[in-house]
Amino acid sequence: MRKTSKIFFCFLIGILFSGFKPNWKQIAIIDIQVKIMELDYLGNIYVVSKTNQLYKYNPKGVLLSTLNYSYLGNISHLDCSNPMELYLFYRELNSIVFLDNNLAFRGKINLSEFGNIQAITMGRAYDNGIWLFDISDLQLKKVERDGKVTQQSGNSLQFVAKNKLSPNSIRDNGNQVFMNDSAVGILVFDAFANYLKTIPLKGISNFSVAEKDLTYLEGSNLIRYRFGDKGRDTLQLPDIESLQAKMFKQNVYIFDSKQLHIYSFE
């Protein structure tokens, strides 16, 4: 992206999150009961249905690929931060499946074979390793494909004012690692799993993270939280009972209990 395009894009994002109600234009409606929705940095949409069918759409909602991975079990997490290699996490099986950009099977690892690791959530590390939260010893760990644990945080209860921790997602933005617990907030670690701070945003079930901010759904609004000054900007979404929402450039992707809605800003 050229410098002028970046400036325009930042200007557009600033307008969108300035607090007024945008003029949304509906691009597509997809009839699907969504369980998980994620976007890669190219704008492709990945959806896991409630029957564990996996779908890939382009930014306008055109179906590109679909494969049925329900035979492997219940998909509990999807990470597409590297669009060339997707990670599917099967918590009940304590296993991670790797797919290519066409959703074809590339490999699988069973975390139970690496010792006593019992992961409850995971996320791709920036170098294609695996961040996971091990409930057996309450540690954030970085694991390589051969099972070697290269980083670990120590017991995470020392960082929170609670006697229980149950993270539901982990994100790596290349500089820091963000681990979300809806009852505690977002715990932030460095690339070596050293605890840095807790962002006091509670009640979040899903979020997206960038270099300087993160976004999450709050009621009918998409909220951008700025790391620098801890400020929050609000984007009012179309009038849909949103269960989850994500944004890519000027497009917003929202799903309710029965459909995936795609809108663009005019």
pLDDT band per the 50, 70, 90 thresholds, residue 139: very high
Element containing residue 16 per DSSP (H, E):
helix 3-16
pLDDT at position 19 is: 55
Question: 10 Å Cβ neighbour count for 57?
Answer: 24
> Is the distance from CB of 234 to CB of 223 less than 8 angstroms?
yes
Is the per-residue pLDDT at 12 higher than 50? no
Is the per-residue pLDDT at 16 higher than 70? no
Residue by residue, DSSP assigns 180-195 as EETTTEEEEEETT--E
How would you list the strands of the sheet with 85-90, edge to edge?
Answer: 77-79, 85-90, 95-100, 105-110
pLDDT at position 5 is: 36
pLDDT at position 174 is: 93
What single-letter DSSP state applies at residue 219? Answer: T
Amino acid at 63: L
Which residues on neighbouring strands pair with residue 67, listed in sequence order?
Answer: 54
pLDDT at position 17 is: 59
Question: Using one digit for the tens of pLDDT, what is the confidence trace for 89-133?
Answer: 999 999 999 999 999 999 999 999 988 799 999 999 999 999 999
Question: 10 Å Cβ neighbour count for 133?
Answer: 25
pLDDT band per the 50, 70, 90 thresholds, residue 8: very low
Gap between the Cα atoms of 265 and 86, Å rounded: 29
Question: Using one digit for the tens of pLDDT, what is the confidence trace for 218-256?
Answer: 988 999 999 999 999 998 898 888 889 999 988 999 999
pLDDT at position 186 is: 97
Question: Using one digit for the tens of pLDDT, what is the confidence trace for 177-223?
Answer: 999 999 999 999 999 999 999 999 999 988 999 999 999 999 889 99
Q: What is the mean pLDDT of residues 165-187?
A: 96
Residue by residue, DSSP assigns 75-115 as --EEE-SSTTEEEEEEGGGTEEEEEETTS-EEEEEEGGGGS
Question: Using one digit for the tens of pLDDT, what is the confidence trace for 50-68?
Answer: 999 999 999 999 999 999 9
Gap between the Cα atoms of 46 and 156, Å rounded: 31
Decide: helix, strand or coil at residue 147: coil
What single-letter DSSP state applies at residue 138? Answer: T
Sequence-distant (6+) residues with CB within 8 A of 95 are: 72, 73, 89, 108, 109, 110, 111
**Segment among 8-12, 161-165, 175-179 with least mean pLDDT:** 8-12
User: Closest Cα partner for 58 from 73, 39, 77, 74?
Assistant: 39
pLDDT band per the 50, 70, 90 thresholds, residue 20: low
77-to-12, 19, 27, 70, 209 alpha-carbon distances in Å: 31, 32, 27, 13, 16
